[in-house]
Amino acid sequence: MGVRLSHRAIAFFAIVLALFCSTFVDAAYLRAARAAALAESGALAARLGLTDLSLFTEARYTRHPTQADLHSAFQDHPFAFEHFPSGSLMPPPRMLTKEYENLDRKTESPD
């Protein structure tokens, strides 16, 4: 007779649970190991007065989001579309896209 299914399940869950708990141990280990890098970045940011992470370097308002005002994504020219993926997930404010009155109905002769 082979090993009971319940015993196999208990063994499986014991292993997986041990792995789950070990992720927390690993997190503590990595935190200690990577503390130096974090401190170095923090020190450089403090010394140079840096305000932003260099994660999104494609445009000025994505490189330094904290230094850009709310409208900088639309400043390239009047009616500019936002064209970078970093910001394209965010719609422009409603007031900028609302429709204006249709003037063509008021013209007396067709164009």
Partner 1 sequence: MKTWIEKQKALIDFTLASLARRKIKNLGLLLVYTLIVFLLASVMLFTHALSKEAGKVLENSPEVIVQRLVAGRHDLIPPDYLERIGRIRGVQKIEGRLWGYYYDGVLKANYTFMVPQPDALMAVESGKIAIGATMARMRGLVPGNTISFRSYSGKLFSFEVSSVLPNKSELVSADLVLLSEADFRAFFDYPPDHYTDIVLSVANPLEVRNIATKLSTLLPDSRPILREEVLRTYESIFNWREGIVLVLLSGAILAFAIFAWEKASGLSAEEKREIGILKAIGWETGDVIKMKFWEGALVSLAAFLLGYIAAYLHVFRFSSLLFEPVLKGWAVLYPRFELTPEVDGFQVATLFLFTVFPYAVATIVPIWRAAITDPDAVMRG
* Residue 92 binding partner 1, by CB under 8 A: no
Dist. CA 101–CA 93, nearest whole Å = 19
Q: Which of 1, 2, 11, 40 binds partner 1 (CB under 8 A)?
A: 40
Residue count of the chain: 111
Q: Which two tokens stand for residue 10?
A: 């208990």
- The conformation of residue 18, written as its DSSP 8-state character, comes to H
Q: How far is the CB of 40 from partner 1 (least distance, A)?
A: 4
> What letter does residue 83 receive in the DSSP assignment?
-
* Residues in contact with partner 1 by the rule CB under 8 A: 4-9, 12-13, 16-17, 19-20, 23-24, 26-27, 30-31, 34-38, 40-60, 62-67, 69, 71-72, 75, 84-86, 89-90
